[in-house]
């Protein structure tokens, strides 16, 4: 209490004591008379040992206020209620991080996250719970390992989880959470909260992971080609070129709409076939980690190819491409793959080459 007085002279020039104001020491203060300093008898500072008052089992409350009296007398009448003052006996916060992302099944991404529930108050928290709002509708049931309490004042408990998405999330995708806990050792009620459940915006969340991890997309497509020639008899004796194509998915994403094109009797230069271009297939699909697929093709050449002495051969080239899942885009098999097909000397028995 402010017990300060100052000596002044009354009208008869006799010394008397008068009330004196004192500075608040940095505390914000305004009484009902508009005075911002403490007047005599106006300020009372008290301390309460809550552990003694509540026998060591503190309840959770976040504000308190008091009632003033008309004088310092114990029998003085009650006057005004003070403005409630923040008293964060129980409070909590949380943090969350996207840890890793990996491609699963060739067309999905598993996102893994972890975080902490932090006790920022002065009382122990029990039975902490994390509520997660995912940025997309998960494929299947998400995994969420809840934090384990109790959490002592200033301490934290970890949580982790994962979910599967059918698409790659943008870098700004937020995975929001809210948290709750109880100030009672019984675990109920969950009266200490951070955010709202479910959190849908940044204003009602407790934390989010900031941005999604980037899954490693490693698309890969390989093409191999074999060919053999033979004479086809009958009334029309001619050369037959028998070809085999082997296409493989060597990456971690599924590839669909795979197209194989063959340049009969020619080569590819800057994507242009110098011979006759034919489409071997345009609808093949190969999942990541799946076996390769093979295709065959037969045609009759219109020339003997290139000859060195009495040896002649045809040179064919092929290219392949497809569409990768998860936004991987167009995937090419690389440089054109060629094969030399002997025309002279030539086999009289026709067989399809095998890998």
**pLDDT, tens digit, 9 for 90 and up, residues 236-273:** 778 899 999 999 999 999 999 999 999 998 999 999 99
Quick check: 337 pLDDT over 90? yes
112 contact partners, CB below 8 Å, separation of at least 6: 98, 99, 100, 101, 102, 160, 161, 162, 213
First to last CA, the chain: 98
Domain ranges of the chain: 92-208, 221-344
Burial class (CB within 10 angstroms; exposed 0-12, middle 13-18, buried 19+) of 305: buried
- Report the phi/psi class of residue 59: left, alpha or beta, with left for phi > 0 and alpha for psi in -120 to 50: beta
The per-residue pLDDT for 23 is: 78
Least confident of 107-116, 174-183, 237-246, 307-316: 307-316
Lowest mean pLDDT among 11-25, 151-165, 192-206, 239-253: 11-25
Q: Which residues fall within 8 angstroms of residue 60, CB to CB, at 6 or more apart?
A: 89, 90, 123, 183, 191, 192
Query: What average pLDDT does this structure show over 317-336?
Result: 97
Environment class of residue 353 by beta-carbon count within 10 Å: exposed (0-12), middle (13-18) or buried (19+)?
middle
Same topology, domains 92-208 and 221-344? Answer is yes
**CATH number, span 221-344:** 2.60.40
Average pLDDT, the chain: 88
Residue 87 has pLDDT above 70, yes or no: no
Q: What was the pLDDT predicted at 250? A: 96
CATH says 92-208 is which class?
mainly beta
Residue 2: the pLDDT is: 59
Grouping H, G, I as helix, E, B as strand and the rest as coil, residue 266 is coil
């Amino acid at each position: 209490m402010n017990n300060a007085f100052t000596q002044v002279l009354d009208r008869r020039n006799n010394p008397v004591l008068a009330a004196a104001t004192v500075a608040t020491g940095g505390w914000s203060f305004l009484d009902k008379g508009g005075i911002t300093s403490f007047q005599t008898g106006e300020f009372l500072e008290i301390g309460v040992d809550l552990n003694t008052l509540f026998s060591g089992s503190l309840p959770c409350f976040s504000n308190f206020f008091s009632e003033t009296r008309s004088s310092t007398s114990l029998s003085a009448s009650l006057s005004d209620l003070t403005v409630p003052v923040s008293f964060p006996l129980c409070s909590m916060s949380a943090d969350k991080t996207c840890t890793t992302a990996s491609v699963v099944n060739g067309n999905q991404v598993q996102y893994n996250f972890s975080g902490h529930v932090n006790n920022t108050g002065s009382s122990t928290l029990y039975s902490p719970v994390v509520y997660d709002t995912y940025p997309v509708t998960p494929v299947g049931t998400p995994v969420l390992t809840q934090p384990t309490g109790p959490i002592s004042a200033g301490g934290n408990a970890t949580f982790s989880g994962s979910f599967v998405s059918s698409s790659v999330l943008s870098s700004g995708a937020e995975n929001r959470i809210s948290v709750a806990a109880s100030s009672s050792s019984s675990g109920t009620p969950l009266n200490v909260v951070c955010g709202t459940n479910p959190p849908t915006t940044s204003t009602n969340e407790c934390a989010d992971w900031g941005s999604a991890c980037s899954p490693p997309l490693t698309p890969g497509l390989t093409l191999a080609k074999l060919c053999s020639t033979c004479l086809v008899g009958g009334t029309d004796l001619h050369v037959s070129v028998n070809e085999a194509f082997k296409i493989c998915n060597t990456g971690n994403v599924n590839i669909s709409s795979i197209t194989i094109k063959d340049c009969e009797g020619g080569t590819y230069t800057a994507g242009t076939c110098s011979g006759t271009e034919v489409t071997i297939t345009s609808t093949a699909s190969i999942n990541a980690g799946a076996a390769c697929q093979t295709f065959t093709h037969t045609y009759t050449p219109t020339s003997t190819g290139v000859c060195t002495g009495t040896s002649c051969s045809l040179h064919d080239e092929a290219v392949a491409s497809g569409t990768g899942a998860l936004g991987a885009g167009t995937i090419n098999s690389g440089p054109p793959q060629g094969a030399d097909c002997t025309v002279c000397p030539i086999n009289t028995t026709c067989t399809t080459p095998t890998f």
